[in-house]
Every structure is written in C-alpha cells, then in structure tokens.
C-alpha cells in the first residue's frame, strides 16, 4: 500500500485510554497489562519506549501489529483506526520483533520477495536487493538464511519489515545479541531512514542508546505511562549532580563531609553527590578541603537516562528487580 504525503497526520501513532486485560487461566489470575495508556508518537521522530520486563511494552506493540486485541480504548496508526481500518493500519507499520523468526531454507532475497508478496507489493515495485544492500546483506542475497550469523539474521529481520515501505518502523530490542560494529551499522541505517521521513519507535534495554538516539522517550511501568517527554527534558527530572575528585594522596575510605554523601570508587576517585537546588560545586569543594582532602583533579557528572529510569520505575516496593530492563 502506498502512503500519500498529502494531509500527513501530526502523530504517527496515537493511543487514548488503551487497556488490555488477559483473562485468568487455570494456572494464573487475570492480568491487566495496559491500564489507560494515553500516548502520542510524533511523525518523523525517533521515539523510545522503555520500561521493565512485564511493564506492557510488548503488549502495546502487539496491539499495533494486530497480534493482540485490545480490551478498550482507541488506537490509530498513521491516522488509521486499527478497528475501523485494520488492514491499512497494519500496512502502515513495519515491526521488527525481538525474536528472530527466519525462513531458514530460503535465501534472504527469497525471504524478502515472499514478505513483499504477503503485503501485496507488485513485482515491479519490489526493492529486495536494494534493501539487502543497504543493510550490508547484498553479498549474502543468495545464501541460505541458516548460514547467516546471528547479527546478519537480525538485520534480515529489519529488511523484511521494510519491504512494503512503511512510514512507521517499530524496532523491538533490535540490537540484542549484536556486536558493537553491527550495532553502529544498524543505527546508521536507522538514522538514514529517519532522515528520509520514517518514524522510528524503539524499545531497547541499552539505555545509552535511547539517550543518544531518541528525540522523545516514554517510560511505561506496570501498564501505565509514567513519563513521556523530550529526552533532554526527561534528563532534567533529576536535579542531582556529582563532583568527581581525584585526591592528591590515595584514600583508604571516603571522608565524612558535612551535608554531602561521599563514596570512594574502585579507581580511587571520590564521588560526592548533591542537589543542584540546594548546594553548588563551590560548597562541595569547601567541604572537601575542610575534611583535609587535597584535590589533584576534578570533574562533574550529570544524571543519565538510567538514573531517571530507575527513579521512575523502582520506587514502588512491589516493582520488579532493577536488573530487569
């Protein structure tokens, strides 16, 4: 399906009052996976969707893809209601699932041709080799998929999601198990797609990736959106900062500082955290000098996305372990 550039929607995806409850079974009680989710994903953005395991991210994506039926609420993809225009709405997105689902007895070119046929793309309009070349798989076009490395299979999943030229691409943990170089190549291509107008929705447990790539980030916890802001604004949620000091003489323990928390890092540096609305770097340095610690070098650290993520999702004692991204 070709998508017109006329009358483009402001938001590539919108959800209003979205809920999903999985019914009880013999082995488990009913589970409310999504609880009144309101979300708008701007057209042309790289949008991060983050949350702990079991937070509702996969349920949300599967509803968009037509794999899970919502319980209530309204969802639109590219302005198309998924209830009133389900086929067109599904055609507006390409989904790269977390699990690798490859046709092991096909070649990459054959896999893309079959996928294009499923979407009704005419043979004259198919771009199988073009897409494979763009993802660094052109020289493997006629090899069997079972002969590809894990990273190559991951890129093939991205290629399959692009055969119908969707205006929205959803990447669910796309770099899981991919080495650093392949990750860089994949993100370079994602940036190219975004520059060409494709809206990217990304879930990842590599928080530094989300911080670097995403224009806007939503954090889902226990089925609800607990934050949805431009990345820079989200990072400002925490006003804590840290002064990192390299002492003149090695320390065996962190000194006691009046009004500040100090920790001695394994590399011998001293980290002092403070609230920027309550103290200044000068106040920290005065406290360090008063404790008799000489300063060889110093630097400051700002909060990163992981700090915000943990602050928003793990204050609840019933929440999952903070290792479960």
CB-based burial of residue 129 (10 Å sphere; 0-12 exposed, 13-18 middle, 19+ buried)? middle
Average pLDDT value for the chain: 87
Q: For position 324, what pLDDT does the model report?
A: 35
Domain identity same for 294 and 184: no
* 263 and 198 in a common domain: no
- DSSP of 127-181: -HHHHHHHTT-GGGTTS-GGGS-HHHHHHHHHHHHTTT--SEEEEESTTTT--HH
Q: Is residue 95 within 8 Å of residue 200, measured between CB atoms?
A: no
The domain of 296 spans 240-302
Q: In sequence order, what are the residues at sequence separation of 6 or more whose Cβ sits closer than 8 angstroms to the Cβ of residue 301?
A: 241, 242, 244, 271
CB 159 within 8 A of CB 186: no
Domain co-membership, 171 together with 293: no
Residues 170 and 293 reside in one and the same domain: no
Three-state SS at 82: coil
Report d(CA 268, CA 98) in Å as an integer: 40
pTM equals: 0.76
Domain at 268, CATH number: 3.30.70
* Residues 220/55, Cβ–Cβ less than 8 Å: yes
- Within this chain, do residues 87 and 174 fall inside the same structural domain, yes or no? yes
Q: Is 187 helix (H, G, I), strand (E, B) or coil?
A: helix
- 244 has a pLDDT exceeding 60: yes
**Does residue 244 share a domain with residue 228?**
no
22 part of a folded domain: yes
The whole-angstrom separation of Cα 304 and Cα 271 is 16
Lowest mean pLDDT among 109-113, 184-188, 239-243: 239-243
Residue 146 lies in a domain: no
262-275 mean pLDDT: 89
Write down the pLDDT at residue 320. 43
Question: pLDDT tens for residues 90-121?
Answer: 999 999 988 887 788 899 999 999 999 999 99
**Same domain, residue pair 229 and 258:** no
**CATH number (domain holding residue 217):** 3.40.50.300
The β-bridge partners of 72 are: 19
How many structural domains does the chain have? 2
């Amino acid at each position: 399906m070709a998508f017109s550039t006329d009358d483009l929607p402001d938001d590539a995806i919108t959800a209003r009052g979205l809920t999903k409850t999985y019914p009880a079974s013999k082995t488990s009680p009913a589970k409310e996976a999504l609880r009144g989710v309101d979300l708008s994903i701007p057209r042309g953005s790289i949008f991060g969707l983050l949350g702990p395991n079991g937070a509702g991210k996969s349920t949300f994506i599967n509803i968009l893809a037509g794999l899970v039926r919502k319980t209530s609420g309204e969802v639109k993809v590219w302005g198309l209601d998924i209830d009133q225009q389900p086929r067109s709405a599904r055609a507006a997105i390409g989904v790269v699932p977390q699990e690798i689902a490859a046709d092991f007895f096909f070649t990459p070119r054959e896999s893309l041709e079959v996928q294009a046929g499923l979407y009704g793309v005419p043979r004259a309009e198919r771009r199988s080799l073009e897409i494979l070349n763009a993802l660094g798989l052109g020289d493997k076009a006629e090899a069997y998929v079972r002969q590809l490395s894990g990273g190559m299979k991951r890129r093939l999943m991205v290629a399959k999601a692009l055969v119908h030229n969707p205006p929205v691409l959803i990447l669910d943990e796309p770099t899981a198990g991919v080495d650093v170089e392949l990750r860089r190549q994949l993100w370079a291509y994602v940036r190219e797609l975004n520059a060409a107008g494709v809206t990217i929705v990304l879930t990842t447990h590599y928080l530094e990736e989300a911080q670097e790539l995403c224009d806007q980030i939503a954090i889902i916890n226990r089925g609800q959106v607990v934050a949805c802001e431009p990345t820079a604004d989200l990072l400002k949620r925490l006003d804590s900062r840290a002064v990192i000091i390299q002492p003149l003489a090695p320390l065996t323990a962190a000194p006691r500082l009046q009004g500040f928390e100090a920790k001695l890092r394994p590399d011998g540096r001293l980290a002092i955290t403070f609230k920027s609305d309550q103290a200044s770097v000068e106040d920290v340095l005065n406290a360090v000098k008063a404790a008799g610690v000489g300063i060889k070098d110093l630097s400051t650290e700002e909060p990163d996305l992981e700090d915000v993520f943990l602050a928003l999702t793990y204050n609840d004692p019933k929440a999952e372990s903070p290792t479960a991204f």
